[in-house]
């Protein structure tokens, strides 16, 4: 069976940046499972896995526009420290979930902390990065109706 929409795919992967540093990897643990065609992984990788089969090894370079998008400076903002309620120790790298003006959930990362204000970044941490994937396909199966309906693997 080859990878196509509505297939559950199991892969082992290593993700590196342009510097060659490993950003993430599944090779020391369980393979990652995803529902192909449901937008569960970055588009550039999903496109390259289309038509592949168990045992295939794929090396893919994904540009920002097919990964986590370009960085947008307007998504970096200074907010009053009071916006974090009674969070006592705010440190760069911490992530918080907030709500946009149109009631959408948005994750922000603390970029810096001053006495009375906090700089937050709503860009994905890998926005603007070229991503390098080394992937081995471990299994492919048809998704169940429930998985297709829910848009993810059960």
Residue-level pLDDT at 95: 92
pLDDT given at position 87:
77
- Give the Å distances, CA to CA, from 138 to 30, 66, 72, 133: 11, 23, 36, 15
37 falls within a domain: yes
Q: What was the pLDDT predicted at 103?
A: 86
Q: How many CA atoms lie within 13 A of 2 on its CB side?
A: 5
Is residue 64 domain-shared with residue 78, that is, in the same domain? no
> pLDDT averaged over consecutive 10-residue blocks of the chain (154 residues)?
97 96 96 97 98 98 97 94 84 88 89 92 95 98 96 95
2 domain residue, yes or no: no
Query: Domain for residue 27, yes or no?
Result: yes
Residue 23 lies in a domain: yes
In a domain, 139, yes or no: yes
Residues 78 and 111 in one domain: yes
For residues 64 and 22, state if they share a domain: yes
Place of tokens 């006592």: 88
Task: Give the CATH number, domain containing residue 108.
Answer: 2.40.10.330
């Amino acid at each position: 069976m080859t990878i196509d929409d509505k297939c559950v795919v199991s892969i082992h992967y290593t993700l590196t940046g342009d510097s060659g540093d490993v950003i993430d990897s599944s090779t020391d643990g369980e393979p990652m499972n995803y529902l192909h065609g449901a937008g569960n992984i970055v588009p550039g990788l999903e496109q390259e896995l289309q038509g592949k089969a168990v045992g295939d090894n794929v090396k893919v370079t994904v540009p920002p526009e097919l990964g986590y998008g370009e960085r947008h400076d307007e998504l970096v903002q200074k907010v009053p420290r009071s916006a974090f309620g009674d969070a006592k120790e705010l440190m760069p790298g911490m992530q918080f979930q907030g709500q946009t003006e149109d009631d959408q959930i948005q994750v922000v990362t603390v970029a810096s902390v001053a006495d009375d204000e906090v700089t937050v970044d709503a860009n994905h941490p890998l926005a603007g990065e070229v991503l390098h994937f080394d992937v081995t396909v471990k299994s492919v199966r048809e998704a169940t109706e429930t998985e297709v309906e829910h848009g993810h693997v059960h």
